Amino acid sequence: PAVDAYLEIARKHGLDPVHMALAWCVTRPFMCSAIFGATTLSQLEHILKASEVTLSQECLEDISRAHKAHPLPY
């Protein structure tokens, strides 16, 4: 499934999957916001660390390949 592919990419690049997903959102020219949920302060602090992540070109290419392999993951 798509989730496994993205988790493997995050592992390969030493990234937290949440941080990878949000960092990817920042790279999209069409995306003006990302909606996420946090019910505790520790969850929010964890999510906000994504702002410190920059994805490598190799990681972006891996994500693109996963998206092509799983275009409609839902």
Q: pLDDT digits over 16-27, tens only?
A: 999 999 999 999
Sign, CA torsion 28/31/33/34: negative
What is the pLDDT at residue 13? 99
Tell me what pLDDT residue 20 has. 98
**Which range of residues forms the domain containing residue 22?**
2-69
Consecutive 10-residue runs of the chain (74 residues): their mean pLDDT? Answer: 96 98 94 91 97 98 97 78
Tell me whether residue 74 is in a domain.
no
Instruction: Give the amino acid at 27.
Output: T
Q: Provide the pLDDT for residue 27.
A: 94
Three-state SS for 1-24 is CHHHHHHHHHHHCCCCHHHHHHHH
User: Looking at the 3D structure of the chain, how many domains does it have?
Assistant: 1
User: Would residue 31 count as lying in a domain?
Assistant: yes
pLDDT of residue 25: 94
Tell whether 55 is covered by a domain.
Answer: yes
Residue 49 lies in a domain: yes
| Spatial distance between the Cα atoms of 50 and 56, rounded to a whole number of angstroms | 14
